[in-house]
């Protein structure tokens, strides 16, 4: 099971899933919010998800490139925590 930085199961219905393309190409905080608002989240969950994005990605997601994402994903074969910062530092 994959969990977010707050220990919640990652799920589209919770709005805490990050599209790999957004890690590769980068996305602004406003872009992240628009993606959430275009979904079908319950208004309460939408507010929680937006606050989570503001806390976790105050400047959006900086472009990391495909190689950093590939490396991070193939490097972890056991249950470990992978943070966005880990991907960015690669």
> What's the average model confidence in pLDDT over 43-64?
91
Contact 32, 61 (CB under 8 A): yes
- 45 φ/ψ sector (left φ>0, alpha ψ -120 to 50, else beta): alpha
Has residue 63 got a pLDDT over 70? yes
More confident residue, 49 or 8: 49
User: Going by C-beta distance under 8 Å and a sequence separation of 6 or more, which residues neighbour residue 72?
Assistant: 82, 86, 87, 90
Residue 80 pLDDT grade (very low, low, confident, very high; cuts 50, 70, 90): low
């Amino acid at each position: 099971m994959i969990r977010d930085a707050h220990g919640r199961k990652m799920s589209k219905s919770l709005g805490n899933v990050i599209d790999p393309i957004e890690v590769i190409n980068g996305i602004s905080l406003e872009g992240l919010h628009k993606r959430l608002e275009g979904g079908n989240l319950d208004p309460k969950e939408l507010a929680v998800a937006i606050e989570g994005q503001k806390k976790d990605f105050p400047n959006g997601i900086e472009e990391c490139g495909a190689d950093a994402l590939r490396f991070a994903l193939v490097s972890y074969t056991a249950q470990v925590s992978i943070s966005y910062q880990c991907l960015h530092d690669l």
